[in-house]
Amino acid sequence: MRLLTILCLVLLSVHSYSQDVVTGPFLIRDGVMTHQDTNEPVTGIVEMFYPNGQLQFRVNYIDGELDGLWEYFDEDGQLHYRENYKDGKQDGLWEFFYENGQLQFRVNFKDGKEDGLWERFDKDGNLIETRTYRNGELVETY
């Protein structure tokens, strides 16, 4: 599994659109994203592209840890999900989308735990379930 992870990261094709985009190859060592050649932790935006040139994902790292927005796209360019991190932990709004672009569900995190509103929608965008979490514990379902 580690070899597969290393190979995938080595094969990242990173294209620079701004100064914040960093190029690979990268490795994950002890949960920290590092530059393969320098062993330095990655700080900046890492992007990977499908063979057709379409952006697959864009993710931000600070000192080798996830920090900021992570966006993942389908091969046709449709946003599949977006997540937020702080210091390597889930933090902030997470949203997942159906293939038709409709919001499937959204949830808030704080310090790696569900915290706040959790909502699930059908493919037509109708709200079908709501929950409330506090510090990772389910408080209410309605």
> Which band of pLDDT confidence, cut at 50, 70 and 90, is reported for residue 8?
very low
Task: Using the structure block, give the residue that is written with the tokens 């599994």.
Answer: 1
62 and 122 within one domain? no
72 and 135 within one domain? no
Enter the tokens of residue 73: 């796209």
Count of domains observed in the chain: 2
pLDDT of residue 5: 33
77 and 23 within one domain? yes
Is the pLDDT confidence value at 11 over 60?
no
What is the domain extent for residue 109?
Answer: 91-142
Residue 3: CB atoms within 10 Å: 7
Enter the tokens of residue 106: 């959204």
pLDDT of residue 91: 98
3-state secondary structure of 4: helix
75 and 38 within one domain? yes
Is the pLDDT confidence value at 3 over 90?
no
pLDDT in tens, 84-136: 999 999 999 999 999 999 999 999 999 999 999 999 999 999 999 999 999 99
Q: What is the CA radius of gyration of the chain?
A: 17
83 and 105 within one domain? no
Looking at 54, 69, 88, the residue that finishes a domain is 88
CA distances from 38 to 27, 34, 103 (A): 10, 8, 40
34 and 8 within one domain? yes
52 exposed, middle or buried (CB, 10 Å; 0-12, 13-18, 19+)? exposed
104 and 63 within one domain? no
> Which band of pLDDT confidence, cut at 50, 70 and 90, is reported for residue 10?
very low
d(CA 106, CA 109): 10
pLDDT in tens, 90-101: 999 999 999 999
d(CA 88, CA 58): 15
116 and 75 within one domain? no
Looking at 88, 116, 131, the residue that finishes a domain is 88
3-state secondary structure of 3: helix
124 and 78 within one domain? no
79 and 22 within one domain? yes
- Mean pLDDT, all residues of the chain: 87
101 and 41 within one domain? no
> Which band of pLDDT confidence, cut at 50, 70 and 90, is reported for residue 15?
very low
138 and 68 within one domain? no
Looking at 88, 113, 130, the residue that finishes a domain is 88
Residue 115's contacts (CB-CB under 8 Å, 6 or more residues apart) are: 108, 109, 133, 134, 135, 136
Is the pLDDT confidence value at 60 over 80?
yes
> Which band of pLDDT confidence, cut at 50, 70 and 90, is reported for residue 18?
very low
> Which band of pLDDT confidence, cut at 50, 70 and 90, is reported for residue 30?
confident
